[in-house]
Structure 1
Amino acid sequence: MLSAIVTLMVDSMATSLYSRRNNSNVVKPDDDHHHHGHVAVSTDAEMAVVGGGGGGHFHGHHHGGLVDGGAKDGSQQLLRYRVVAMVLELGIVVHSVVIGLSLGASNNTCTIKPLVAALCFHQMFEGMGLGGCILQAEYKFFKKAVMVFFFSVTTPFGIALGIALSRVYKENSPSSLITVGLLNASSAGLLIYMALVDLLSADFMGPKLQRSIKLQIKAYIAVLLGAGLMSLMAKWA
């Protein structure tokens, strides 16, 4: 619960910072253009011809604000996608290190085999979700490569760290249980918040799902099925 609240704070502050930085780069329109004539710059401009013959003149009603509003909404949505991608990356990275640490420190072969299988499916689904968020964020190639790199190396890093600490690391010791429990709780709260608030709510409240009850029911079934399968994999992970 505390992790989810902290994630809410980070999410809100990051969105605010991104928005302020974006707004500071927007050039305000010159007032002289509004006082010395109206120019139709959009396809929605309404033109009326007054008079007859060749002496007619035009009155233009400018509707460029609609275009500006649409561009602003698109910019805000892009900023939101970027915040979601960064926070989700943070949660998955922490979670992956903990999983790798548990796998590397384990000395029981009966535990390792099912854990590896569960880990492969787990990381695949997490990678698909994170990849979709990174794609929506429209980052440049370098930033995409960095985010993919960190996602790819955190689990192997955790495994290597677990192997290195296997002699001093005791799974059932109080300090180990507290450390792993805190890390798991932190990443769990972060991921649950991101899934419900930033990912699922955006889809379920979108116009596509709101227009179709059948599509909503199918989406509910898919969410419950996915949650059930991930919970089942937690038995071995």
Structure 2
Amino acid sequence: MLAAIATLIVDTIATGYFQRAHAKNTSAAVGYVEASDSEQAHGGHSHGVSAVIVSSFSDDGAKLIRHRVISQVLELGIIVHSVIIGMSLGASENASTIKPLVVALTFHQFFEGIGLGGCIVQARFRLKSVLMMALFFSLTLPVGVVIGIGISSAYDENSPRALIVEGLLSAAAAGILNYMALVDLLAEDFMNPRVQNNGRLQVIINISLLVGTALMSMLAVWA
């Protein structure tokens, strides 16, 4: 719960900061357009067209900012979560536990990667930023495995301290990911006018949500 609240605070502060910065740029663009309009002989017609262009630019910019904040906060939650499960895998010494865990984590990371990749595409980052985010996502689980292997000799996963630390980190990751899934991802898709105006589509996406939840719950049996 605290992690979800903290994510809400970070989400709103980051969005507000980027929107204020974008508003300054938009104001500068409006001033430039109005100055250009005053120099033209077309009068009101030109000004009206320019106002529509600036308004469209502002709306697109606000959506882009929102997508970028969502993708970055989601990346943070996935990184924390991946390191934790990587450490658990690396510290495991029982082969019968490791094999099903690897299979479960493979599917788990695959679906997380699809979700994160979709957010990154919508955010329209530069190529350098995309490569950096993809690199972090790809390396966090192996890094967690290496850390788990390194501490396995001195690490007792059943000790009170280890259970407390693992529980706190898992709860933090769960809070971040649950908030992102419900508030920033599912809510936006489910409240989309295209979905709201199509009863059949609403049924399909709700069934898809329940099926996906069931499948991920089945993976949790092994993970």
How high is the TM-score relative to the length of structure 1? 0.88
Q: Which residue is 2:71 aligned to?
A: 85
Sequence identity of aligned pairs in percent? 49
Offset of 1:209 from its aligned partner? 0.3
SS at match of 2:120: helix
Offset of 1:21 from its aligned partner? 1.7
Matched, 1:137 2:123: yes
The letter for the 2-side match of 1:40 is H
SS at match of 1:29: helix
Matches of 2:40 and 2:106, distance apart in 1: 65
Q: Give me the CA root mean square deviation.
A: 1.7
Matches of 2:152 and 2:40, distance apart in 1: 77
Offset of 1:65 from its aligned partner? 2.5
Matches of 2:31 and 2:144, distance apart in 1: 52
Offset of 1:22 from its aligned partner? 1.6
Offset of 1:202 from its aligned partner? 0.6
Larger of the two Rg values belongs to structure: 1
Q: Which residue is 1:40 aligned to?
A: 45
- Specify which of 156, 162, 166 is matched with residue 180 of structure 1: 166
Offset of 1:206 from its aligned partner? 0.8
Matches of 2:217 and 2:90, distance apart in 1: 22
Offset of 1:176 from its aligned partner? 0.5
Q: Which has the higher strand share?
A: 1
- Within 5 Å, give how 1:43-62 maps onto structure 2: 62=48
- Within 5 Å, give how 1:10-159 maps onto structure 2: 10-26=10-26, 27=28, 28-29=30-31, 33=37, 38-41=43-46, 62-159=48-145
Q: Which residue is 1:52 aligned to?
A: none
Offset of 1:25 from its aligned partner? 2.3
Q: Which residue is 1:51 aligned to?
A: none
Q: Runs of at least 4 residues of structure 1 off by over 4 A?
A: 30-37
Offset of 1:72 from its aligned partner? 0.8
CA deviation map 1:21-79 (0-9, x unaligned): 222223142666469962534xxxxxxxxxxxxxxxxxxx8343233222211100000
Matches of 2:195 and 2:48, distance apart in 1: 34
User: Which runs of 5 or more structure 1 residues have no equivalent in the other structure?
Assistant: 42-60
SS at match of 1:167: coil
User: Which runs of 5 or more structure 2 residues have no equivalent in the other structure?
Assistant: none
CA deviation map 1:86-107 (0-9, x unaligned): 0000000000000000000011
- Specify which of 198, 201, 211 is matched with residue 225 of structure 1: 211
Report how many residues are paired: 218
